[in-house]
A and B are shown apart, each in its own frame.
Chain A
């Protein structure tokens, strides 16, 4: 019988390296690049604290998107909030019971919502795909990689939901496998096709993250238009204006 454990162990070590190394290099590259001129999109906050708030609104509420297109905002929210809930729920498969101190309660609490998260994610992704296929403007700016990325996320979500609702897998064994990866105490992985498919696609997602448009997630924090303070060239000594 096929024992997928060692193959996936190697695969996940490799993709973890690619993810961390690739992302690290990209972020370092951004960080090292100078910002020669102040270019905040105004009106912009005049204090650091104000900028933190602006960024928080952008990242949690998608403020700019809201001002632009409500339908896109809705799909984007469904997908990203769903993804967040799913990720929180998944911590239970990846971390030893009781880690994170009191935060672990949150992971336990979010378990039932994680399921809704999975569904919201799927609905959001299908909506995003639909508009990419149907709206002429969005279609015109889409490339193969844009469709593949949505397809990849849909496939991950679908295989996950199928495990949850149709063909169950041995979650305890999955968890043992991933904890084993961390402690170099390798454990077997159940040879369920859905699980292996799910994990293969997740590995692919991790591997392309640093080289794809998924860079938008760290990118927003590095955007000078959004993270700079509004300051006059040479303010008065008294701080007026």
Chain B
């Protein structure tokens, strides 16, 4: 397992974008996350251990998945091997392993699909690269489908929009169904089902934490900013990643949301039943699991009788909420129809800035030169605001209102061409540290470039996974972990609390 004593990062380049490396076959074949234990799998309804007739079961599962998703079927049928996607994956750029070229990753599944479900693969397997799912190929699946953060960058550049993330999700679901789960994701999902959040944080501990934060804020600002929990009849239910309750710099963001609500005079609450925005079921490709997690939010909103649903800073959670929430746990017609469901906290804050509901003073962040990391799932799988691309403009507008100077990273590394932090898609686990470090290369390189050429001091993010990942890998590249900021952490420093603004 990738726990080598010395984690040496690949070299940065003095240009903002990383050149594709020479091919290094097998360079990352050893990278594999810990396999889930029987209890982790069984809690999700999967077989505890690898089933005896795993090959037949896997083919059957693949067939079922392909018949249940047009995307999967069309994507597996349509690739022309043009190679447009080949150099677009951060894991390929960071490792040179040819199996990390998106098309090659897809082919790990496509081989088996062709062999069992297409005439060409049945008649002339050698010619079209069709193959049986052997033990060796399954090993490769486990390794390389856990080297895909499902970031969709490849799909942006594919002339047919083929999305390797969809194939990755399907491959993980197939593996789960034969009892070969990934420990990190499956264990976490078990905690959500049992306790309500990824951390396994029970209600009393959560209440304690929030109380402590209230005290801290009051001490620092003199204002009684509240972080309410399970308040029935509140207007707004805030769903946020549980990392916001503890981790740095996440918690600064949570304090920022609270200050915005406070200043707007909004009645709001958190829920202990749905104390998690994250939905790792997307990572393992299970729609059933995804619905089960999402239904906790529906339940909480009903029980508390709230009117609006607002999500905190979390990338994949926003995708699941923005795009899937009605399919998974709708309809939402019991909420106030004047508000869209869901809303992003940045939509609330941005509107508050525009209408003058809150005042921000960049002096609160004096000395900071800030850049922004577009999170994959926000950039390429969702939206904010009124029109396409709002997911790029809103965060930047809020940051610009909060800090003295804002600088964007190079064009090819932002907006829908943004690079993954390297830890998305269920890979944010210590047993994949080498992969996380190498996958962060393109983003860190672009960041380093603006640090050196523009004097950037901080990078803001709107995703719990990105924040944790950067805090961990930036130091490996010689950058300070404190560079990473929550966007609402910046808001928190800049916001003027107290009586109506003058």
Partners in one complex: yes
**In the complex, what's the smallest C-beta–C-beta distance from A73 to chain B, in angstroms?**
9
Is B101 among interface residues, defined by CB-CB distance under 8 A? yes
Q: Are A216 and B78 in contact (CB under 8 A)?
A: yes
From B101, B159, B332, B392, contact of A64 by CB (8 A):
B159
Q: Are B119 and A211 in contact (CB under 8 A)?
A: yes
The answer to whether A233 and B157 touch (CB under 8 A), given A42-B391, A138-B86, is no
From A226, A230, A233, A238, contact of B161 by CB (8 A):
A226
Chain A residues proximal to chain B, CB less than 8 Å: 26, 29-30, 33-39, 41-46, 58, 62, 64-65, 67-69, 72, 76, 131, 135-138, 140-146, 148, 208, 211-213, 215-216, 219-220, 222-226, 230, 232-238, 240-241
Q: Are A211 and B118 in contact (CB under 8 A)?
A: yes
**In the complex, what's the smallest C-beta–C-beta distance from A137 to chain B, in angstroms?**
5
Looking across the interface, which residue of chain B has its beta carbon closest to that of A76? B82
A240–B330 alpha-carbon span in the complex (Å): 19
Is B252 among interface residues, defined by CB-CB distance under 8 A? no
For the complex with contacts A34-B70, A219-B78, A240-B340, 9 further pairs of A-B residues with Cβ separation under 8 Å are: A33-B66, A34-B69, A42-B381, A67-B156, A68-B85, A142-B81, A216-B78, A220-B161, A241-B385
**B339 — which chain A residues lie within 8 A by C-beta?**
236, 240
Task: Mark interface residues in B65-91 (1 if CB within 8 Å of A CB, else 0).
Answer: 011111101110111111111111000
Q: Are B381 and A39 in contact (CB under 8 A)?
A: yes
**A44 — which chain B residues lie within 8 A by C-beta?**
388
- State which of B190-198, B259-267, B319-327 sits at the interface with chain A: B319-327
A135–B101 alpha-carbon span in the complex (Å): 14
The answer to whether A137 and B86 touch (CB under 8 A), given A38-B323, A216-B78, A241-B340, is yes
Q: Are A141 and B101 in contact (CB under 8 A)?
A: yes
Looking across the interface, which residue of chain B has its beta carbon closest to that of A149? B80
Q: Which of B257-310 contact A (CB under 8 A)?
A: 287
Across the A-B interface, the 10 shortest Cβ-Cβ residue pairs: A219-B78, A225-B161, A43-B388, A237-B337, A234-B341, A233-B325, A68-B157, A143-B129, A226-B161, A138-B83
Q: Are B338 and A230 in contact (CB under 8 A)?
A: no
**In the complex, what's the smallest C-beta–C-beta distance from B140 to chain A, in angstroms?**
15
Q: Are B163 and A43 in contact (CB under 8 A)?
A: no
**In the complex, what's the smallest C-beta–C-beta distance from A44 to chain B, in angstroms?**
6
Q: Are A234 and B323 in contact (CB under 8 A)?
A: no
Q: Are A140 and B118 in contact (CB under 8 A)?
A: no
Looking across the interface, which residue of chain A has its beta carbon closest to that of B121? A211
Q: Are B78 and A213 in contact (CB under 8 A)?
A: yes
**A33 — which chain B residues lie within 8 A by C-beta?**
66-70, 73
Looking across the interface, which residue of chain A has its beta carbon closest to that of B66? A33
Q: Are B338 and A220 in contact (CB under 8 A)?
A: no
Q: Are B69 and A137 in contact (CB under 8 A)?
A: no
A213–B101 alpha-carbon span in the complex (Å): 19
Looking across the interface, which residue of chain B has its beta carbon closest to that of A226? B161
From A35, A37, A72, contact of B84 by CB (8 A):
A72
**B392 — which chain A residues lie within 8 A by C-beta?**
43
Chain B residues proximal to chain A, CB less than 8 Å: 20, 22-23, 66-71, 73-75, 77-88, 98, 101, 103-104, 107, 118-120, 124, 126-129, 152, 155-163, 166, 287, 321-327, 330-333, 335, 337-343, 347, 379-383, 385-389, 391-392, 416-417
Looking across the interface, which residue of chain A has its beta carbon closest to that of B330? A234
**A241 — which chain B residues lie within 8 A by C-beta?**
340, 343, 347, 385-386
**A138 — which chain B residues lie within 8 A by C-beta?**
81-83, 86
A236–B330 alpha-carbon span in the complex (Å): 14
The answer to whether A223 and B162 touch (CB under 8 A), given A43-B391, A233-B330, is yes
Looking across the interface, which residue of chain A has its beta carbon closest to that of B379? A42
**B332 — which chain A residues lie within 8 A by C-beta?**
233-234
The answer to whether A35 and B103 touch (CB under 8 A), given A46-B387, A220-B78, is no
**A213 — which chain B residues lie within 8 A by C-beta?**
78-81
A213–B70 alpha-carbon span in the complex (Å): 17
A153–B389 alpha-carbon span in the complex (Å): 40
The answer to whether A225 and B388 touch (CB under 8 A), given A141-B81, A215-B77, is no
Looking across the interface, which residue of chain B has its beta carbon closest to that of A220? B160
Listed A/B pairs (30) with beta-carbon separation below 8 Å: A26-B77, A34-B70, A38-B323, A39-B381, A43-B391, A43-B392, A64-B159, A67-B156, A68-B84, A135-B83, A141-B83, A141-B104, A212-B120, A216-B80, A216-B159, A219-B160, A220-B159, A220-B161, A223-B71, A223-B161, A224-B74, A224-B161, A225-B155, A232-B342, A233-B330, A234-B326, A234-B335, A234-B340, A235-B340, A240-B339
Q: Are B287 and A233 in contact (CB under 8 A)?
A: no
**In the complex, what's the smallest C-beta–C-beta distance from A83 to chain B, in angstroms?**
14
**A226 — which chain B residues lie within 8 A by C-beta?**
160-161
From A34, A68, A237, contact of B338 by CB (8 A):
A237
The answer to whether A233 and B323 touch (CB under 8 A), given A33-B69, A137-B20, A213-B78, is yes
Looking across the interface, which residue of chain A has its beta carbon closest to that of B323? A38
**A69 — which chain B residues lie within 8 A by C-beta?**
83-84
Looking across the interface, which residue of chain A has its beta carbon closest to that of B161? A225
The answer to whether A64 and B157 touch (CB under 8 A), given A35-B71, A143-B127, is yes
A137–B163 alpha-carbon span in the complex (Å): 19
The answer to whether A35 and B323 touch (CB under 8 A), given A138-B86, A211-B120, A234-B341, is no
Q: Are A225 and B159 in contact (CB under 8 A)?
A: no
**B333 — which chain A residues lie within 8 A by C-beta?**
234
**B322 — which chain A residues lie within 8 A by C-beta?**
232-233
A219–B78 alpha-carbon span in the complex (Å): 6
A33–B71 alpha-carbon span in the complex (Å): 9
**A146 — which chain B residues lie within 8 A by C-beta?**
81
**B331 — which chain A residues lie within 8 A by C-beta?**
234
**B341 — which chain A residues lie within 8 A by C-beta?**
232-234, 236
Q: Are B160 and A216 in contact (CB under 8 A)?
A: yes
**In the complex, what's the smallest C-beta–C-beta distance from A59 to chain B, in angstroms?**
9
Q: Are B70 and A222 in contact (CB under 8 A)?
A: yes
**A46 — which chain B residues lie within 8 A by C-beta?**
387-388
A23–B159 alpha-carbon span in the complex (Å): 21
A225–B128 alpha-carbon span in the complex (Å): 25
A190–B73 alpha-carbon span in the complex (Å): 43
A226–B156 alpha-carbon span in the complex (Å): 10
**A140 — which chain B residues lie within 8 A by C-beta?**
23, 98, 101, 104
A131–B74 alpha-carbon span in the complex (Å): 26
**A67 — which chain B residues lie within 8 A by C-beta?**
156-157, 417
From A45, A131, A136, A144, contact of B22 by CB (8 A):
A136
**B82 — which chain A residues lie within 8 A by C-beta?**
65, 72, 76, 138
Looking across the interface, which residue of chain A has its beta carbon closest to that of B343? A241
**B416 — which chain A residues lie within 8 A by C-beta?**
41-43
A39–B77 alpha-carbon span in the complex (Å): 18
